[in-house]
Amino acid sequence: MAILIAFSDVEKMLKKCAQGHEIVQTTHGRAIKYNGRHFRGFPKYDEVYAQYVKKLVLQLQINEDCAANYVGEAFPAKKKQAPS
């Protein structure tokens, strides 16, 4: 089963965890730049598969713990547990 993540959640994650990022619309998707690195294969849809988000975080070297707070579905092992 594929997990979908809203692009608005990805944008929130980028604003908090990758300050200074840049999103560029391309013909078939989005190119995201951060810290001298580029991720050119990000889909242009409003919902994207979690695998793309995880690949984005790893390739741009964004802090995984920070990213898990906003897009935890992409990092199930790091997802914050609600206090009981």
Q: Please check the confidence at residue 82 and state whether its pLDDT lies above 70.
A: no
Parse the chain into domains and list their residue ranges. 4-74
- 80 pLDDT tier (thresholds 50, 70, 90): low
Q: Please check the confidence at residue 18 and state whether its pLDDT lies above 60.
A: yes
- 83 pLDDT tier (thresholds 50, 70, 90): very low
Do residues 37 and 60 make contact, with C-beta atoms less than 8 angstroms apart? Answer: yes
**DSSP label at 36?**
T
Do residues 56 and 74 make contact, with C-beta atoms less than 8 angstroms apart? Answer: no
Widest distance between CA atoms in the chain: 46
**Rounded to an integer, what distance in angstroms lies between the CA atom of residue 63 and that of residue 17?**
7
**Rounded to an integer, what distance in angstroms lies between the CA atom of residue 14 and that of residue 9?**
9
pLDDT digits (tens, 9 = 90+) for 28-44: 999 999 999 999 989 99
- 84 pLDDT tier (thresholds 50, 70, 90): very low
**Rounded to an integer, what distance in angstroms lies between the CA atom of residue 25 and that of residue 31?**
6
